[in-house]
Amino acid sequence: MSRNKWAIGVYALFIVFLLLLWQFIQTSLAIQSVVGQMESGASAERSGPHLVLISQELDNPYWRTVERGARDAASKLGADIEYIGPYRNNPQEQKNLLEKVIAAKADGILAQGMADSDYIGLINRAVAHGIPVVTVDTDAPESARLTYVGTDNYLSGRLLGEAVVKTAGTRGEIGVIIGSQEAANQRLRLEGFLSVIEAYPELKVVEVRASNISRIQAAQQAEDLMRSYPNLTIMAGTSALDAIGILQAKKKSGREGLLIFGFDDLEETQQAIRRGDIQATVVQKPYRMGYDAVKLMLEHKQGAALPREHYTETGLLTREDLGGEDSQ
């Protein structure tokens, strides 16, 4: 019986591997097709400026919402837009794609910023070649980018911290999952969060882990934190899939009473808030980011001066805002 279970497990893993490989190949071919069309000059027949949006992770629901906003703005305002990005969070691949888009001579680039000297150098190279760059979601203020469009990440981190204090009180141990140790937006959110928590001596962040923008890794890191810190009463996540991963780990570990706070309002997160499984989430406006980034890029091309930062709205979503299951 144990051999049969082992064989079934191996077979299931093999099937999952094949599915992931197939998705990776399909995504890679799609990206190569887009870049190939640009490099071959296919954009010459386009009716308006050819813009390229480079995401952090191609099929991440958050970035797909940014894409939707960008496409709607491009359609309304007379531009063409291509959407590309790494299949999984991969800063090196983002740099490679940015370099290819520069070589293909796009009319404008919308891209997530990174605190990386090589990446900043690529942005500066694009601008030097007459290709304007707008950073989206995460800024690169040291670069020659035109403007930043997105959340004020430090203030949104403070909003998350204030939600913890309001709901959980001023005593307890907190575990934090951030999307990435390298991403500037994640570090700023963490700084804002800590600036609130550190004002309360009996409220302590015991450890910060990274999920690499992955629900699976968020769950793994959260489960390990729950094992390592038996008195953990609060967990907070700073990227879209972190709270969902934390909730998965909580159910697996049977940790009753653990309070969870997150970022973004994916449908699964909203359902968890309605049930009372997640206490609150900081809500960004990714659709607005994509829309406004395209709009500002086109205004620049018409000679308008742009603000150095264009912050989009953030807020807090709780069970009271959505209506819990017991009120439906």
SS3 of residue 184 by DSSP: helix
Helices 286-301, 61-77: inter-axial angle, 10-degree rounding: 40
Q: What local confidence, expressed as pLDDT, does residue 328 receive?
A: 37
- Say how far apart CA 147 and CA 312 lie, in whole Å: 13
Q: What local confidence, expressed as pLDDT, does residue 275 receive?
A: 96
DSSP 151-167: --HHHHHHHHHHHHHHH
Give bridge partners of residue 261 from the DSSP assignment: 236, 280
pLDDT higher than 80, residue 95: yes
DSSP run (H or E) holding 269: helix 267-275
pLDDT higher than 70, residue 19: no
Q: How far apart are the first and last CA of the chain?
A: 46
Give bridge partners of residue 178 from the DSSP assignment: 210
- Say how far apart CA 237 and CA 263 lie, in whole Å: 6
Judge contact between 239 and 213, C-beta under 8 A: yes
* Range of lowest pLDDT (3-17, 83-97, 107-121, 314-328): 3-17
C-alpha distances in Å from residue 127, one per residue of 32, 245, 285, 290: 24, 39, 27, 20
54 vs 25 pLDDT, higher one: 54
Q: What local confidence, expressed as pLDDT, does residue 44 receive?
A: 47
* Amino acid identity at 283: V
- Residues present in the chain in total: 328
pLDDT higher than 60, residue 306: yes
pTM (2 d.p.): 0.80
Average pLDDT, the chain: 89
- How confident is the model over 128-148, as pLDDT tens digits? 999 999 999 999 999 999 999
Task: Give the pairing type, strands 80-84 and 50-54.
Answer: parallel
Q: What local confidence, expressed as pLDDT, does residue 12 receive?
A: 55
Domains of the chain and any CATH numbers: 2-151+286-312 (3.40.50.2300), 153-283 (3.40.50.2300)
Largest CA distance in the chain: 73
C-alpha distances in Å from residue 132, one per residue of 102, 110, 146, 249: 10, 9, 7, 43
The residues, ordered by sequence, that sit 6+ positions from 134 with a Cβ below 8 Å of its Cβ are 108, 109, 110, 111, 145, 146, 147, 148, 149, 293, 296, 297
Q: What local confidence, expressed as pLDDT, does residue 323 receive?
A: 79
The mean pLDDT of 179-208, rounded to a whole number, is 96
The model's confidence at residue 45, banded by pLDDT at 50, 70 and 90, is low
The model's confidence at residue 2, banded by pLDDT at 50, 70 and 90, is low
